[in-house]
Amino acid sequence: MILHTPVLLHEVCSFLNPEDKLIVDCTLGHGGHAMALLSIAKNARLVGFDIDQLMMDKAEMRIRAFDVDVANRIDYVHGNYTTIQDVLWSKKADFILNDLWVNLEHFKAVERGFSIRGTAALDMRFDTSTGPTVADILAKYTTDQLRHVFEQYADFSSPKALELAQHIVTTRKQKPIVTTQDLKLLLNDCGLGDKACTVIFQSLRIEINQELENLKTFLSVFPETLNSAWRCIIITYHSIEDRLVKQAFNELVATWNYKLVTKKPVMPNYKEVAINRAARSAKMRILERI
């Protein structure tokens, strides 16, 4: 099993009250954060969301092997964290964690189509049971839609984003773009190296999974699910995500019903980055309901 290293684990746990009774982990992954949090809050239950059923099944097996007591205090929810209000219903959470990073297994498992390395079907869906794939996007999106994805989510200039979009539309008329290598070679033809190709893959992943729309929905509903005097932590890895979280938190603080626990985002120290380079762009913001 490819294990995902939880980012800012010590820092996340430091903001938890051991007396908390209900914890929500919006992206359960392999359960790293969940196991640590429940090991501290001995009487808490945790609601763990994951849109990827495969990840959830692996997390459940791993957590049960780690500690049966911890495993018995978790309610697993296969679904999007945007449904937090419906899932909790009348309950209020004492501690909400939303770590927006993609599980390492998605990149390492070549067959999922997230990585530029190897050859696989262009899928990139977190929930493989529903919805279109990236191959569908590349086959159906207009030039303007593709340009928008590359410009907004990959931070490419408008002319370069347009060039890429036009090249995709021209190429697909000659042959379908259905594998990761099909797309990588096409991007190479436009002068993109591995780093830039990775950014384009990321932008398509964001689009196919509606990651930013999901975050916006969550930011609009989570305040109604949070107990008084308790906290919501969001860890972002992309400038757009962080901007959305920062703006939403500041708007809530302006109502005088919330406060920022730290004025600046918490970031990994150099030791963590040296061990886990995936953590290097992480920013953690903490909001407390007064």
As a CATH number, domain 127-208 is 1.10.150
| C-alpha span between 107 and 104 (Å, rounded) | 5
Q: What is the pLDDT, as a whole number, of residue 156? A: 96
Q: What is the pLDDT of residue 278?
A: 82
Instruction: Note the helical H segments in the chain.
Output: 9-14, 32-40, 53-66, 68-71, 84-88, 104-108, 134-140, 143-153, 158-174, 180-189, 194-208, 211-221, 239-253, 270-275
Domain ranges in the chain? Answer: 9-105+212-289, 127-208
The pair of three-digit structure tokens given for residue 290, joined into one six-digit string: 């007064």
What is the model's pTM? 0.93
What is the reported pLDDT for 118? 86
Q: Looking at residue 112, what DSSP letter applies?
A: G
Q: What topology does CATH give the domain 9-105+212-289?
A: Rossmann fold (3.40.50)
Q: Please report the pLDDT score of residue 103 as a whole number.
A: 77
Contacts of 81 (CB under 8 A, 6+ apart): 26, 27, 49, 51, 98, 214, 218
pLDDT mean by block of 10 residues, the chain; 290 residues: 81 97 96 96 97 92 93 96 95 96 78 90 93 97 98 96 98 97 97 96 96 97 90 96 98 96 95 89 96
Residue 228, pLDDT score: 81
Residue among 34, 147, 153, 171 nearest 95 (CA): 34
